[in-house]
Amino acid sequence: MRLKDKVAIVTGGAHGMGEAEVRLFAREGAAVVIADMLTKEGEAVAADIAASQGRARYVQTDVTSERDWERLIAETIAAFGRLDILVNNAGISGSSVGDVDGLDGWNKLLSVNAASVFLGTKHAAAAMIPNGRGSIVNISSIMGFVGSADSHPGYAASKGAVRLYTKAAAAKYGPAGIRVNSVHPGYMPPMLNATNAAGRASKIEATPLRRLGEPIEVAFGVLFLASDEASFVTGTELVIDGGYISQ
Ligand SMILES: NC(=O)c1ccc[n+]([C@@H]2O[C@H](COP(=O)([O-])OP(=O)(O)OC[C@H]3O[C@@H](n4cnc5c(N)ncnc54)[C@H](O)[C@@H]3O)[C@@H](O)[C@H]2O)c1
């Protein structure tokens, strides 16, 4: 029970890595709010957790909307009394925005993947400051360190923004007892499912451990940063990539 009595929000928690984090956090004793736009999936995950004696609820949220953030934090505190942990996980891939050189795609990637992290951190920190503690984990990517010609360059730009915004937020909110760290997953499903077989094979070949990752392998790292075990860890980067950016 590494998160006993903690209250957490996980954005993008209805699917993929976010879902793995929600289920792990609930098993470790947290009450978890799933903030996503996928209502059917989010409600199903919350019901599943409740059926096994866990505490979870789904709140429909578009992470690019400041109004939605205000409502999400208010509903979390109304339901569970406080906020201890935010995982800014929601994101979209560089191949989901169409034209790989389009300004619309650039703006969408920066909005969903990066501006959302700024909004969420700002509003969560405001709710955590009265408690004098809190942990915010921002999901960046290996593409926060290196580029790739495979998809819209706005993806790497958005993930690089998350990496350095995290350090600025750690400096800003550290004196209030709030830790802010970034996590950098390597290639894995479900985001990688859209990649063709040849693309997957080349990514496996470029990964020293010679395989794709699994969402639970990221969730364990996020759990550490969210928990009190990481009480002196802030402003840093946890890379979970099978060694991809080590070479
Ligand atoms: N899978 C990978 O290979 C990989 C690698 C590095 C980083 N990441 C990052 O990990 C995170 C999770 O990715 P995943 O692979 O689990 O993908 P996924 O598509 O399964 O999950 C993303 C979730 O975010 C939600 N979401 C998207 N836009 C949203 C919005 N505006 N408001 C609220 N929710 C929204 C989606 O509904 C979905 O549930 C993303 O930030 C992604 O960039 C993934």
Mean pLDDT value of segment 208-236: 98
CA atoms within 13 A on the CB side of 51: 6
Tell me 240's DSSP state. E
The pLDDT confidence band at residue 33, using thresholds 50, 70 and 90, is very high
Residue 247 forms part of a structural domain: no
The pLDDT confidence band at residue 232, using thresholds 50, 70 and 90, is very high
Residue 142 forms part of a structural domain: yes
What pLDDT was estimated at residue 136? 99
Ligand 1 atom 17: residue of nearest CA: 191
- Domain range enclosing 73: 7-239
Torsion of CA 161, 166, 171, 174, to 10 degrees: 160
Ligand 1 centroid, distance to 229 Cα (angstroms): 26
What CATH number corresponds to the domain at position 150?
3.40.50.720
d(CA 3, CA 6): 5
Q: Which atom of ligand 1 is nearest to the CA of 192?
A: 3
Mean pLDDT value of segment 133-155: 96
Cβ-proximal residues to 37 (8 Å cutoff; 6+ apart), any chain: 60, 61, 62
Query: In the block, which residue shows the tokens 């300004």?
Result: 103
Mean pLDDT value of segment 57-74: 98
Task: Outline where DSSP puts E strands in 93-149.
Answer: 134-139
Mean pLDDT value of segment 84-102: 96
Residue 157 forms part of a structural domain: yes
pLDDT at position 192 over 90: no
Cβ-proximal residues to 9 (8 Å cutoff; 6+ apart), any chain: 32, 33, 35, 72, 73, 76, 83, 85, 86, 87, 120, 124
Alpha-helix residue ranges (DSSP H) falling in 153-242:
153-173, 197-205, 215-226
Residue 105 forms part of a structural domain: yes
Q: Which atom of ligand 1 is nearest to the CA of 13?
A: 39
Residue 244 forms part of a structural domain: no
Angle 16-27/215-226 helices, nearest 10 degrees? 50
The pLDDT confidence band at residue 190, using thresholds 50, 70 and 90, is confident
Ligand 1 centroid, distance to 28 Cα (angstroms): 22
Q: Which atom of ligand 1 is nearest to the CA of 41?
A: 39
Residue 245 forms part of a structural domain: no
pLDDT at position 239 over 90: yes
What pLDDT was estimated at residue 195? 83
Give me the active site residues, please. Answer: 155
Q: Is 15 in the pocket of ligand 1 (CB under 6 A)?
A: yes
Residue 15 forms part of a structural domain: yes
Residue 246 forms part of a structural domain: no
Domain total for the chain?
Answer: 1
- Write out the DSSP string of 14-41: TSHHHHHHHHHHHHTT-EEEEEES-HHH
pLDDT at position 8 over 90: yes
Mean pLDDT value of segment 34-57: 98
What pLDDT was estimated at residue 53? 95
Instruction: Compute the C-alpha angle 177/117/199, nearest 5°.
Output: 125
What pLDDT was estimated at residue 18? 98
Mean pLDDT value of segment 105-111: 98
The pLDDT confidence band at residue 191, using thresholds 50, 70 and 90, is confident
